[in-house]
C-alpha cells in the first residue's frame, strides 16, 4: 500500500469514529435538553408567582382584620 492510501484509510476511519461519537453526543444533548425543559415545567407548577403570593397575603390580611374587628366588639361589650 502506498502512503496516500494509508493516509486516506486512516482519515476515513478517524472521521467515521468522530462522526459516530459526535452523533451520540448530539443525541445525548437533545435528551438532556428535553429533561431540562420538563424540569422547568415541573418547577413552574410547584411555585407561586409574585402576584399569587400577594393575592393570598391580601386575603389573609383581610381575614385577620375581620377577626380583629370582632375581638374589638367583644371587648367593648364587656
The 10s digit of each residue's pLDDT in 5-63 is 989 999 999 998 888 888 888 889 999 999 999 888 888 777 888 999 999 999 999 99
Same domain, 38 and 53: no
pTM beyond 0.85: no
- The pLDDT confidence band at residue 75, using thresholds 50, 70 and 90, is very high
Same domain, 35 and 54: no
Same domain, 66 and 42: no
Segments forming the whole domain that contains residue 9: 1-47
Same domain, 43 and 8: yes
CA 29 – CA 49 distance, rounded (Å): 30
Number of structural domains in the chain: 2
Same domain, 5 and 23: yes
Same domain, 38 and 1: yes
Same domain, 38 and 63: no
Amino acid at each position: 500500500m502506498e502512503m496516500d492510501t494509508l493516509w486516506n484509510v486512516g482519515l476515513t476511519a478517524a472521521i467515521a469514529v468522530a462522526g459516530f461519537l459526535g452523533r451520540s453526543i448530539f443525541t445525548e444533548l437533545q435528551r438532556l435538553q428535553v429533561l431540562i425543559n420538563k424540569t422547568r415545567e415541573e418547577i413552574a407548577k410547584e411555585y407561586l408567582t409574585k402576584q399569587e403570593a400577594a393575592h393570598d397575603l391580601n386575603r389573609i390580611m383581610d381575614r385577620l382584620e375581620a377577626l380583629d374587628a370582632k375581638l374589638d366588639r367583644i371587648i367593648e361589650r364587656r
